[in-house]
A and B are shown apart, each in its own frame.
Chain A
């Protein structure tokens, strides 16, 4: 590949108090190239992007755009230089129209020329093959189309560089395909694309080049075709990956006379899951499999009484109990790590320490606070146990990387010593290293006799960890797969056929 270089970043360094986020990092982007920027959480990917787009000011190094040395002070300035960015969360206004979203805040005039704007939007949408009409309200589009509109917004001006920071994490497979088609279209036009994602398969499907960062340092730039997945992972983690294959899941213990740890019959909730039966044995790891929106999260939320339970009977260790609120579930030894870490998991500005002790503290009660010393001991214990990377226990949790935040939320539940722990997408948006750690932790907990329900969008991960898969479709359980020899194919088939192709 000898196409011309449009962006060259040389010797970029950036440090925050106590952390060297980037050290002497080089990065090169060529015309018409899809360049994956890879690294674990905290490796410095986002920092590099933020330096490029002017969110952060660099400490050292230079940025050369089209042969000119540039200094970028704000994302607006970056945009005017032809650098467009699309972030993971869609930063558009759902109640405005598609065209308004594309042009808001960038018109030179104080007055809007609606006709012209809509015509321009229509032309752009059409040329990119985005199935949306300019006058349509954005909220009426699917998430994927909304994501594409934000791309259209980013590249509307004469864009040379497009940065996609985890654009696919909320998309399903079909939507990802559409997004990739759009990316290829842009590539053909000569746009250089920087692509950040945690999905390795997607990297191999679409990217030409991979740059790997680790702990703020550049590990290297590679041709995607010449770098195997295992090599990539070991470069990202800095160690060989033999321990991934070492993982051994538990043989399901289904002696019919044993009393299940948790058993529900005809359980349903206000979130709209059909009445279902569910049981889990001591030390069992099972999982709800199914597509996004199939009702897997709603089911576990019903178990934890996170949504209003509308019907059903629950037995814990054979004894009938009534679980009306999350607190009831917690008092009965159930823990629940929610899918949406940011909005339902972490308590942002609160310290790592307070985040770790939160659930235990609530169970102890309002009038029995842990002493400061006790709280610090607990926090330090779990920071060490789970290898949480944090400058101190007093650091606000929202300044940690995603993987470490998730570990803190996990620590919160482990500290309550639950009998039954529900993990809803514990590995989403998390680097490979932490993913493997969490999977191993799940299996270790099961060995210690904890029952776990594990949900993941990545089916291979579930197969690796769960001894029983409950398959859901359209808010209903359609079948079950168990045994040591379940394959991805089996699970896919069952999801696709709605349980008719029973194994």
Chain B
């Protein structure tokens, strides 16, 4: 009993994203009881849930990076969509110029785009950690210029990525019922989990975000850790760009991952993370990302006019943030406490029921 309580306490930051998720599921079930139905088409799963998992792949990966950047640098990287556009442009450029497309060319192209992502991360990271530029200002540069760079790499409007392997990466591999982007996202999450388990990344990043001067006197260089989170963000952008371009089958430098940083930042906040840095929960951000995707699809399912979706989303988010704000939380706790004491007094329970936790 007390163990359970402890567990709930420890994961209280997941309360917000999980309750939103539950709320959305309820709304969807009211709309139609077949919400969870999964059908098999050509040997692959289809349905609302697989669609959400498929659609949120890039967002999930980007919000993991965004969580780390936010925690360490106390700011956000707003150039992630543009960075993904650049790295995927490089990927497409390589694949189209490497002759016959084999699995090897794709892998080498992916590897090159990751290196590009790291270089972009290093650029942003240097501005933030060495030159002390505010993260949003530093990343504003690539936010503004990134898509032009991607266009110049493309050399023309929307080069087509028409090959068998890209198609499989973007949709399904015959014989495997789950869409490839879902699998790639799962693998990515697993890698992140292993890294968090096998290194001190969490302790270092959280400490740097909370108190850089104390951390410096304990032998950690805050600049290096902030720089590192931007490198990781760069890799995340490259992976997200890779998935996005293979899904689309062509490289649209103007629209690929457009404005995705807004959703990524929102996923981080929704996951119970402070945008002011410090302690973080990647699980929260991941759930947050899936929740946002579910919200988008729910609004579509409710036949909200696509033009009006953004407004609905905004209202929903405002309500959410107010409900989750400390002000309301304290108030709710007070009301609950009062209800509890009244209940106790009337039920004449044992006198030593003071709670210790």
Contact = CB atoms under 8 A, between A and B. Distances in A.
Interface in B242-288: 278-279
Contacts of A484: none
B218 A358 contact: yes
Interface string B194-214: 000111110110110011011
B229 to A, nearest CB: 13
B217 A349 contact: no
A326 B356 contact: no
A420 to B, nearest CB: 15
Given A17-B355, A347-B215, A354-B203, A325 B210 contact: no
Given A326-B217, A366-B199, A350 B356 contact: no
A349 B199 CA distance: 20
Given A343-B211, A344-B213, A347-B207, A362 B279 contact: no
A326 B214 CA distance: 11
A478 B10 CA distance: 54
A369 B213 contact: no
Among B10, B206, B214, B355, the most chain A Cβ lie within 10 Å of the Cβ of B214
B214 A344 contact: yes
Contacts of B355: 17
B219 A326 contact: yes
Given A347-B210, A350-B279, A359 B215 contact: no
B164 interface: no
B212 to A, nearest CB: 10
Question: Chain A: interface secondary structure?
Answer: loop
Contacts of A346: 211, 214
Contacts, number: 80
A343 B355 CA distance: 34
A359 B219 contact: yes
B191 to A, nearest CB: 15
B357 interface: yes
A366 B210 contact: no
B34 interface: no
Interface residues of B, number: 26
Contact of A362 (B213, B220, B356): B220
Nearest to A329: B219
A345 interface: yes
Contacts of B340: none
Contacts of A327: 219-221
Nearest to B221: A325
A359 B211 CA distance: 14
Contacts of A350: 206-207, 210, 279
Interface residues of A, number: 32
A362 B217 contact: no
Nearest to A348: B210
B215 to A, nearest CB: 7
B214 A330 contact: no
Given A326-B219, A327-B219, A361-B200, A349 B357 contact: no
Nearest to A413: B218
Interface string B203-241: 110110011011111111100000000000000000000
Interface in A307-350: 325-327, 330, 336, 338, 343-350
A363 interface: yes
A358 B221 CA distance: 13
B356 A344 contact: no
A367 B213 CA distance: 22
Nearest to B225: A366
A216 to B, nearest CB: 14
A345 B200 CA distance: 20
A161 interface: no
B207 A326 contact: no
A241 B215 CA distance: 37
Contact of B219 (A18, A325, A367): A325
Nearest to A369: B200
Contacts of A394: 10
A154 B33 CA distance: 63
A363 B199 CA distance: 13
B214 A349 contact: no
Interface string A356-383: 0011011101111100000000000000
A347 B211 contact: yes
B192 to A, nearest CB: 15
Given A349-B279, A366-B199, A369-B199, A326 B216 contact: yes
15 contacts: A326-B216, A330-B219, A338-B217, A345-B214, A346-B214, A350-B210, A358-B207, A359-B219, A361-B200, A362-B200, A362-B218, A362-B219, A366-B201, A366-B204, A369-B198
Closest 3 interchain pairs by CB? A327-B219, A362-B219, A347-B211
Interface of A: 17-18, 304, 306, 325-327, 330, 336, 338, 343-350, 354, 358-359, 361-363, 365-369, 391, 394, 412
Given A306-B216, A338-B214, A358-B203, 20 more contacts: A326-B218, A327-B219, A327-B220, A330-B219, A338-B217, A347-B206, A347-B211, A348-B211, A350-B206, A350-B210, A354-B207, A359-B219, A362-B200, A366-B204, A367-B199, A367-B200, A368-B200, A369-B197, A369-B198, A369-B199
